[in-house]
Amino acid sequence: MKGGGKPNILIFLMDTQPVRNMTPYGFEKNTTPNIQKIAEEGVVYENHFVTGSWTVPSHASLFTGKYQSGHGAGVSYEFLSRDMPTMAEVLRKAGYQTVAFSNNSWVNQDETDICRGFEEFTLVRKPRGQTVNVGPEDKLLLRTEEDSGSAYTVRLVQDWFEKRYDKDKPFFMFINCVEPHLRVWAPQPFRGKFLLEGVSEEEALSVNQDVFAERMGFVPNRPDGHMNERDWEILKSLYDGETACLDHRMGLLFDYMEANDLLDDTLLIITSDHGDLLDRKGYMGHHLALYDDLIHTPLIVRYPGVVPEGKRIKHLVQICDWFPTLLDLLGIDDKMVRKEMQGVSLIPTWDDEPVRDFIIAEYQKPLQTIERALRRDPNFDYRPWLRRIKTIRTLEWKYIWYSDGNDEIFNIKSDPGERINLIEEEKARAKDMRKQLENFLLSIERRDYGDKMRNHSFRMVRWDNINRLKAWGIYRELRFPT
């Protein structure tokens, strides 16, 4: 570390940002010039994976160093339990000034407790008139030339540095911005710059952005109720505009930090909590699957003098690896905290040493998704969705276990898009990987708190739907003896 002191730490999380449309990952359009500059001055992890396919489990893994089974938070239990330490708590105890700015209400200090431990926390409210990202009954899109909050967030961060930053302490800052999250409609000039050629704004505005319409098969004006290839391509181009917009806002922050002699003394981590499914019939958004489009996310790290410059790392790593990495980097030797870690330190990868042979990701029973589908159609047959999913992935093979027995295995090298299921041809390999997955799950401490939905503000749970799930024994409220 520079001067032997503690580095500042900034984790900038681009909510719902895949590697698919980012310049450092080979995208042909220059959507992320500011992130590209950081990448050239640091390391790009080519094979970084999250532990789940949506916000809550991935953030919980980041802040606890655990897999989804380890912390128990997910789509059927939407909370982070208080019986494990968090990154912010440990760094605060180590002398850090801890501060978080979140544009995603799931990443909060309310009942979800995802941001537990930050001494300063700001939930950034969306600009007036901006569509909130909620569920199937919402208005889909409003015309606006305001971004989803990142410009305001950068101003809040700069204001914090000017007024509340204690220069006698290192800071640990976490920022979540949601531009790449549906619904996508970036302000100009970003929307127009990346909109698919030949597409008018009216046509772009009419493209389906309702995930439940695609999942349930009732996209308007489509014979089979599903989006067509042109729909998907237009939607992807709208995503490109949002990614470019957020990259611009991030560049403003990085420039400010550089001008104020903060950037080079900061371990800067740019990452994401998941991607989105954008061209699979019957799938949309970030639930009901564990394909790479969801779990393969960016990881770009910069810290001059410690992290290599201009390096690409091919080794497998996961979002739960950052907590143990920081413990090693800072020399924090708390045995109780280290005992809780399930991830591995990334420091050896800076010397090009692998740290894991495989990655693991999981998806709980999708109670949240089912409850929201029942709002749209009370008679919807949700049973095909009612399955748990787990996956184990190496650099060459990926096996996906489904609780209904419809397993998949893909050769990632020859089929990176995961379109050709080789389960019949590779039964022996699938069996071996299933056993390897089971052995790993048996090796870690697992938490199961039953089922519990978050009931808050504009995401109010419809408890009549929950009662219906209880009647079928699907929603489990665990009751413990007193």
* pLDDT tens figures, 186-241: 999 999 999 999 999 999 999 999 999 999 999 999 999 999 999 999 999 999 99
Length of the chain as a residue count = 482
pLDDT digits (tens, 9 = 90+) for 268-317: 999 999 999 999 999 999 999 999 999 999 999 999 999 999 999 999 99
422 and 409 Cβ atoms separated by less than 8 Å: yes
Q: Which residue has the higher pLDDT, 455 or 337?
A: 337
CA 370 vs. chain centroid, Å, equals: 21
Q: How far is CA 256 from CA 80, 197, 234, in A?
A: 34, 34, 34
| Residue 77: other Cβ atoms inside 10 A | 26
Max distance between CA atoms of the chain, in angstroms, equals 66
Tokens linked to 20: 């698919």
pLDDT digits (tens, 9 = 90+) for 345-381: 999 999 999 999 999 999 999 999 999 999 999 999 9
With H, G, I as helix, E, B as strand and everything else as coil, classify residue 384. Answer: helix
The pLDDT assigned to 455 comes to: 72
pLDDT digits (tens, 9 = 90+) for 109-144: 887 899 999 999 999 977 654 543 434 444 544 556
The pLDDT-based confidence of 105 (bands split at 50, 70, 90) is confident
Mean confidence (pLDDT) of the chain: 93
The pLDDT-based confidence of 183 (bands split at 50, 70, 90) is confident
* Nearest CA-CA partner of 153 in 100, 201, 192: 100
Q: How far is CA 327 from CA 91, 293, 444, 445, in A?
A: 9, 30, 19, 20
Evaluate if residue 19 carries a pLDDT over 50: yes
Cα gap 351→315, rounded to integer Å: 11
Q: What is the DSSP letter of 31?
A: -
Q: What is the mean pLDDT of residues 378-395?
A: 97
pLDDT digits (tens, 9 = 90+) for 148-169: 889 999 999 999 999 999 999 9
E strand or H helix at 205: helix 201-206
Q: What is the mean pLDDT of residues 428-448?
A: 97
| C-alpha atoms less than 13 angstroms from C-alpha of 249 in its C-beta half-sphere | 31
Please give the model's pTM, rounded to 2 decimal places.
0.94
Evaluate if residue 320 carries a pLDDT over 60: yes
The pLDDT-based confidence of 429 (bands split at 50, 70, 90) is very high
9 and 303 Cβ atoms separated by less than 8 Å: no
422 and 433 Cβ atoms separated by less than 8 Å: no
The pLDDT assigned to 243 comes to: 98
Q: What is the mean pLDDT of residues 434-442?
A: 98
Q: Where are the beta strands (DSSP E) in 277-347?
A: 299-302, 311-318
Cα gap 15→107, rounded to integer Å: 10
With H, G, I as helix, E, B as strand and everything else as coil, classify residue 316. Answer: strand
The pLDDT assigned to 137 comes to: 43
End-to-end CA distance of the chain: 50
The pLDDT-based confidence of 457 (bands split at 50, 70, 90) is low
Cα gap 57→299, rounded to integer Å: 17
The pLDDT-based confidence of 460 (bands split at 50, 70, 90) is confident
The pLDDT assigned to 146 comes to: 73
The pLDDT assigned to 143 comes to: 56
* % of the chain surpassing 70 pLDDT: 93
pLDDT digits (tens, 9 = 90+) for 236-262: 999 999 999 999 999 999 999 999 999
The pLDDT assigned to 264 comes to: 97
Dihedral Cα 43, 46, 50, 55, nearest 10 deg: 70
Sign of CA pseudo-dihedral 117, 272, 462, 76 = negative
* Nearest CA-CA partner of 401 in 411, 387, 391: 391
Q: Is 482 exposed, middle or buried (0-12, 13-18, 19+ CB in 10 A)?
A: exposed
Which domains are present in the chain?
A: 2-350 (3.40.720.10), 361-471 (3.30.1120)
The pLDDT assigned to 140 comes to: 46
Can you list the alpha helix ranges (DSSP code H) found in 280-393?
292-295, 322-330, 335-340, 367-376
